[in-house]
Amino acid sequence: MVSHLEPELPPIAMTAYDSEQLNRLASAAARNHPQTTEFLAREIARADIVPDIGERPGLVVMGSQVLFRDDNSDATRWVTLVYPQDADVSEGKISVLSPIGAALIGLSVSQSIAFETPAGARRSLTVLAVRNPG
């Protein structure tokens, strides 16, 4: 049974470049990662597009180092958000096609997002700090 009480999603933003690149990635990866790419595509579609990250300090973009809290366990973790080919969990590099990566993209410091993993578990993350590339 599907619940119709979906959590309200926080407003998010993406750079025009990230939006374009991630749209291509979601289309190309849809067959192998259908649930995550569907979630990522919805996030891209609802994002406010900004010219560059200078307009939104603390915005999670591709290449950002992100400190987030898993609201279910209260554990905190630094990760770097990368494209799938650069992912290496042992180095803290998580793919934007992972459930956590797709949830983090576009959030800003102090924002939280609740989502369902492909396995059906409910997760909630809060962004605590962001170091942007460059």
Q: Which pairs from 68-73 meet CB under 8 Å and 24+ separation?
A: 68/100, 68/104, 68/125, 68/126, 68/127, 68/128, 69/125, 69/126, 69/128, 70/123, 70/124, 70/125, 71/112, 71/123, 71/124, 71/125, 71/126, 72/122, 72/123, 72/124
Assess if residue 1 is contained within a domain. no
The parent domain of residue 92 ranges over 13-131
CATH number of the domain that residue 44 is part of: 3.10.50.30
Residue whose token pair is 């926080």: 10
Assess if residue 125 is contained within a domain. yes
The predicted-structure confidence for 62-85, as pLDDT tens digits, reads as follows 999 999 999 999 999 999 999 999
The confidence band for 103, taking pLDDT boundaries of 50, 70 and 90, is: very high
Assess if residue 8 is contained within a domain. no
| Assessment of whether the complete model's pTM goes beyond 0.85 | yes
Assess if residue 21 is contained within a domain. yes
Assess if residue 3 is contained within a domain. no
| Number of domains comprising the chain | 1
Residue 17 per-residue DSSP state: H
Assess if residue 71 is contained within a domain. yes
Assess if residue 127 is contained within a domain. yes
The confidence band for 34, taking pLDDT boundaries of 50, 70 and 90, is: confident
Q: What is the pLDDT averaged over residues 31-38?
A: 86
